[in-house]
Amino acid sequence: MRLVGFSVRGRPGFGALVGGGVLDLRARLNTGAVDLTELARSGLTAPALALAHAAAAADYTLDEVRLTCPTGRTRYFCIGVNYPERNEEYRDGSERPRYPSVFMRTHTSLVGHEEPIVRPRESEQLDYEGEIVVVIGRAGRRIPEQHALEHVFAYSCGNEGSVRDWLRHAKFNVTQGKNFDRSGSIGPWLTTADEIGAAPMRVSTRVNGELRQQDTSDRMLFSIPHLIAYLSRFCTLEPGDVIFSGTPSGAGARFDPPRYLKPGDRVEVEVSGIGTLANEVIDEPA
């Protein structure tokens, strides 16, 4: 099932894609949830959601709604250097990491499908990072790796946009460069975990139609189950929490000379079995 956040005539909602349109689940479900993050926290399972829209007709066509970021005010755990060639890109002679690199993002740093991502006034080094996004559906602490996927609610596509020079403002701190308002994106929707099989997922990033990144989830240094197990060792994962699982090699900073994003560029992140997230780059308005 594909779940979307949307806005129609200025009213926010969430729903499911059915028959080429959107079924308004917020109006049909008596959960009190106002977005998909709260829906994940409500405890509804994918079969229950499927039953809620079984044989139901769409309430809106896609032309009548504006898709919005499908995740909301929650915690965003981000993983760095999680594909083999990414470690080699740093050219520092370091061995492959023993543990995942982890940092956090805020919800204000992310937009939805076909919403513009913003190059800030402070820098011209806005970069793309295509990633597989994981949304937690069941809480857990010290989750065994073999049971980790039981805690996944859905998957999505992510552009974990980075402002490169601001990543180097301090010795051990990348937070600033990862959290400029509207510098990254998630979407176009959430695909529930029951629709994602065991085959590796392929993530591809294109800029203005040019393929820049491509890799598969089976090549991650730390698998998605391992990431869930690791993160839950030091904190309780909660429904609605989001994990950006890491980007393949090929980000703009790694070209010589670097190929940073500029206004008018179109970035597309495609994940097999999920869809394609697309955003145009704009300069921050004066």
**Are the beta carbons of 114 and 266 closer than 8 angstroms?**
no
Contact 187, 71 (CB under 8 A): no
pLDDT at 238: 97
SS3 at position 264: coil
**What are the boundaries of each domain within the chain?**
2-68, 76-283
Element (H, E) at 234: helix 224-234
Residue 151's pLDDT is 96
Q: Distance (Å, rounded) from C-alpha 9 to C-alpha 221? A: 44
Residues 6+ apart with CB under 8 A from 233: 142
Residue the block writes with tokens 């809106």: 60
Tokens of 116: 């513009």
pLDDT at position 20: 85
Q: Is the pLDDT of residue 90 over 60?
A: no
pLDDT band at 172 (very low <50, low <70, confident <90, very high): confident
Tens digits of per-residue pLDDT, 220-257? 999 999 999 999 999 999 999 999 999 999 999 999 99
CATH class as words, domain 76-283: alpha beta
Instruction: Quickly state the pLDDT bin for 130 (edges 50, 70, 90).
Output: very high
pTM above 0.85, yes or no: yes
Q: Is the pLDDT of residue 186 over 60?
A: yes
Q: What is the distance between the alpha carbons of residues 183 and 242, in angstroms, rounded to a whole number?
A: 17
Q: Return the percent helix, strand and coil in the chain, to nearest 5.
A: 20, 35, 45
Calculate mean pLDDT across residues 114-138: 97
Give the end-to-end CA distance of the chain in Å, rounded to a whole number: 40
